[in-house]
């Protein structure tokens, strides 16, 4: 049976892993290679590297780091952060990524999804969506897409954007809840179940994991295919095996 | 390392070539990346990697003039390992993006998973070992491997299926015929189990993992 995936996410700035709270990096969380090795040994199903430095030097450091990790990690690697062109996607794939995660650039230029999927296959194109619940004066609730690291509202409906992204060729979606990110109060289950009920591709829950039950809920209530978390893993609040064992005791298939 | 005894990893522009190279090296195999027919012909074993679309794969193999040498080394009984698209390409025809003729080394059709499932089939799934084979040496039955694909092989001859996996339907995830082995999953992304599979292939190439299970009419030879 296809297992539920548990994915540690490494937000990397200037060669270090940092911890984000509501989308602003604050604390140092360690050496990326050391953490990646630990997750590999611990049975992580995949790793995400997110380059949150915008500078040219930061980019170089990040690419070196990616190459080093790819040489010794034999699980899938997804890479995101600042990827804006098909050439950018090609660059990280060549450096050892298996998938590319695109976000703001896809909102600005949706055709990047189509082009990337045509060139590298849908399985390489992960559309990452930063969404924030927005309540209108008339009480209407919706999720709005934010870009630029969660700083800029776009007026775009996240659920509609998810569907468009899949239609354009994204092979996987990551839903980052800006409200939940770094709070450890749980994934946005309503957003998750809305999107998972609507698209054919796998959906990854991101932002807000704080208890073991939050992971279970993302699968059993949100119908996610995978869960992504950062700080709870980096700081050892939970280990990957601990999360998987918890999922297993709730009847969810995992790779132990 | 000399290249004379190196396993040939066929380079036809597949996106995951480097992952395969790293994993094969980590598993202790001496390998060379090549699209040179002579090097492939001389190699003691051959790996055909792959990711992406069937039409592109076939187009690339044809334009680099590699289809003939692939058929040749397989018919001569050289140990051969196809991975993912490198497995699908071995069959008769793929329904991906219409209908594309493949290498037709094994009979069968590459079909899309039925609607109602999440597509691609992406993630870790179990391989049930339905026939013993040296490629499984030291790998427990039911081990999880990493899959990413939207199409699967419907093999004409059930005898070639040595491992299968269930995703909506049960499909062949490892096939073998003579000295040919192929996997639908990506061993290079399948942690310890995948590295072991590459190591086993290396041992088959060296001839120190017993004989490859043969079918009556096949000849097995380690070049």
Q: Tell me the pLDDT tens digit for each residue of A113-139.
A: 999 998 888 889 999 999 999 999 998
Distance CA A162, CA A170 (A): 9
Residues in chain A with CB shorter than 8 Å from the CB of B120 are 122-123, 171, 201-202
pLDDT of residue B54: 80
Tokens of B177: 């015929």
Tokens of A217: 């809920």
Distance CA A55, CA A35 (A): 23
SS3 A67: helix
CB of A254 within 8 A of CB of A246? no
Identify which has the larger pLDDT, B57 or A24: B57
Asked: is A5-249 a CATH 2.70.70.10 domain? The reply is no
Q: CB A3 to CB B189 under 8 A?
A: no
Residues in chain B with CB shorter than 8 Å from the CB of A75 are 146, 189-191
Distance CA B81, CA B24 (A): 12
Instruction: Indicate if the pLDDT at residue B163 is higher than 60.
Output: yes
Residue of A nearest to B53 (CA): A121
pLDDT of residue B219: 41
Q: CB A202 to CB B118 under 8 A?
A: yes
Q: CB B122 to CB A172 under 8 A?
A: yes
CB atoms within 10 A of CB A190: 14
Domains of chain B: which residue ranges? 7-206
User: pLDDT for B15-43, tens place per residue?
Assistant: 678 889 999 999 999 999 999 999 999 99
Q: CB A74 to CB B166 under 8 A?
A: no
CB of A146 within 8 A of CB of A120? no
- B16, B84, B122, best to mutate vs chain A, most A CBs in 10 Å: B122
Q: Considering CB atoms only, which of B144, B149, B188 is closest to A74?
A: B188
Cα of A149 to nearest chain B Cα, Å = 27
Tally of helices (H runs) and strands (E runs) in chain A: 10, 12
Distance CA A108, CA A191 (A): 22
Q: Considering CB atoms only, which of B26, B120, B149 is closest to A74?
A: B26
Question: Catalytic amino acids of B?
Answer: 84, 186, 188
Residues in chain A with CB shorter than 8 Å from the CB of B164 are none
A15 confidence band (pLDDT: 50, 70, 90): confident
pLDDT of residue B214: 43
Distance CA B20, CA B173 (A): 18
Cα of B71 to nearest chain A Cα, Å = 26
CATH number of B7-206: 3.40.50.880
Cα of A230 to nearest chain B Cα, Å = 20
- What ranges in B9-102 are assigned the alpha helix state H? 17-26, 37-42, 54-63, 67-75, 85-88
CB of A5 within 8 A of CB of A225? yes
């Amino acid at each position: 049976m296809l297992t539920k995936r548990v994915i540690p996410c490494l937000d990397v700035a200037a060669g270090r892993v940092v911890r984000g709270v509501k989308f602003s990096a604050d604390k140092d969380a360690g050496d990326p290679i050391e953490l990646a090795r630990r997750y590999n040994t611990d049975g992580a199903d995949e790793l995400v590297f997110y380059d949150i430095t915008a500078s040219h030097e930061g980019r170089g450091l990040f690419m070196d780091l990616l190459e080093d990790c790819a040489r010794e990690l034999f699980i899938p690697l997804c890479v995101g952060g600042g990827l804006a062109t098909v050439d950018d996607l090609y660059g990280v794939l060549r450096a050892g990524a298996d998938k590319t995660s695109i976000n703001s650039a896809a909102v600005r230029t949706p055709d990047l999804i189509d082009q990337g999927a045509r060139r590298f296959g849908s399985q390489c194109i992960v559309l990452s969506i930063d969404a924030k619940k927005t309540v209108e004066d008339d009480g209407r609730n919706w999720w709005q897409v934010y870009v630029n690291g969660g700083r800029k509202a776009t007026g775009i409906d996240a659920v509609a954007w998810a569907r468009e992204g899949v239609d354009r060729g994204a092979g996987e979606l990551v839903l980052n809840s800006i409200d939940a990110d770094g709070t450890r109060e749980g994934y946005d289950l309503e957003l998750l179940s809305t999107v998972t009920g609507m698209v054919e591709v796998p959906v990854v829950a991101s932002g807000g994991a704080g208890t073991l039950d939050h992971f279970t809920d993302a699968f059993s209530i949100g119908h996610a295919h995978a869960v992504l978390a950062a700080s709870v893993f980096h700081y050892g609040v939970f280990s990957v095996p601990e999360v998987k064992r918890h999922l297993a005791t709730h009847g969810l298939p995992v790779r132990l | 390392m000399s290249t004379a005894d190196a396993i040939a990893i066929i380079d036809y522009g597949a996106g995951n070539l480097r992952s395969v190279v790293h994993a094969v090296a980590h598993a202790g195999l001496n390998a060379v990346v090549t699209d040179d027919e002579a090097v492939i012909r001389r190699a003691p074993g051959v790996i055909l990697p792959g990711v992406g679309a069937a039409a592109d794969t076939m187009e690339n193999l044809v334009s680099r003039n590699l289809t003939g040498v692939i058929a040749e080394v397989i018919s001569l009984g050289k140990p051969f390992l196809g991975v993912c698209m490198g497995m699908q390409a071995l069959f008769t025809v793929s329904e991906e993006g219409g209908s594309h003729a493949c290498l037709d080394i094994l009979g069968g059709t590459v079909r899309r998973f039925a609607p109602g499932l999440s597509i691609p089939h992406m993630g870790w799934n179990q391989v049930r070992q339905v026939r013993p084979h040296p490629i499984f040496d030291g790998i427990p039955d039911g081990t999880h491997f990493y899959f990413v694909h939207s199409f699967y092989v419907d093999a004409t001859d059930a005898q070639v299926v040595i491992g299968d996996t269930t995703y909506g339907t049960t499909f062949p995830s490892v096939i073998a015929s003579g000295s040919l082995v192929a996997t639908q999953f990506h061993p290079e992304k399948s942690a310890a189990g995948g590295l072991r599979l590459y190591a086993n292939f290396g041992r088959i190439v060296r001839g120190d993992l017993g004989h490859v299970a043969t079918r009556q009419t096949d000849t097995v030879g380690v070049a």
